[in-house]
Amino acid sequence: MDYLEHLAQHGAEPIGSLGYDAPLAVLHPEGQSLADYCKESVAVVTNPALDRDRETEHFNTQTLLGARPATPYPTQDAPLGYRELPHPFLLSRRLLAHFMPPEAIEQACDALGARTLESLPTLFRTQTLSIAQSAEESLAECLNRLAQTAVQAVQAGAEVLVLDDTLAFEEGWLPVDPHLALASVDRALRETDGANGHALRRNCSLVLVSGGLRNLHDLIFAFSLGAGSGQVLSDSDWLYSTMNQRVTNSCISKDLENDKVFRT
């Protein structure tokens, strides 16, 4: 409508931009996501859009999960402490179970070459850290506690840290910007050396599970801040899971089908 109104009033098309031309987050009167402060300022258009022969490495989505090798060129007899994934996304059996049977989830994982969030403990020494803020602590105290817990976990041998904000939906807890929590953990691990003299960050991967990841921009921003992999819990996924649990617990009439509750 804005386009048509401008065309009718001025007899010319409005001047646009290939970059982000919405209002800046820094000028918004309310709090904004950390990702909203970082926007693309220029868009590069190529023809063809992707050159898979000459630009393969630029568009490679391969991800390594786990501890990095101790040397740049490990020998064949060195223990393999990491796994290669074709893309940096994990599936969730818990959420997919609402939509498809277990065998279909297995087929989806095989077709996509993906791992599930629930399979990580069987592959790595995994520890889950809540990135929710207690109502009794400040944001600075929460981030400091989270960073210290992450360092202690990796020092104790954790190979994968799962940063999860699910607890933020519970009473007495507050949500923390997932990117801010991720950056705090990544920085703390980079600034702390392990027994081998290398930063602890090389000894683990970070997996982000958050309802605050809204779009592709948020995902790419998370990867740039240190996420090795991500599993997106969108608002609709959380709503469906919550409503399904309440139906199971008889808080809502079981005559209502899950699909109808979700659509409502």
39-77 tens-digit pLDDT: 766 556 666 666 667 667 777 788 888 888 766 555 554
Rounded distance between C-alpha atoms, residue 201 and residue 188, angstroms = 8
Q: Tell me the domains of the chain and their CATH numbers.
A: 61-233 (3.20.20.70)
What percentage of the chain reaches a pLDDT higher than 70? 72
For residue 15 the two structure tokens come to 């001047």
Question: How many angstroms separate the CA atoms of 2 and 210, rounded?
Answer: 34
Q: Look at residue 176 in the predicted model and tell me its pLDDT.
A: 94
Q: Does residue 88 contact residue 232 with C-beta atoms inside 8 Å?
A: no
pTM here is 0.75
- The answer, yes or no, to whether residue 198 has pLDDT greater than 60, is yes
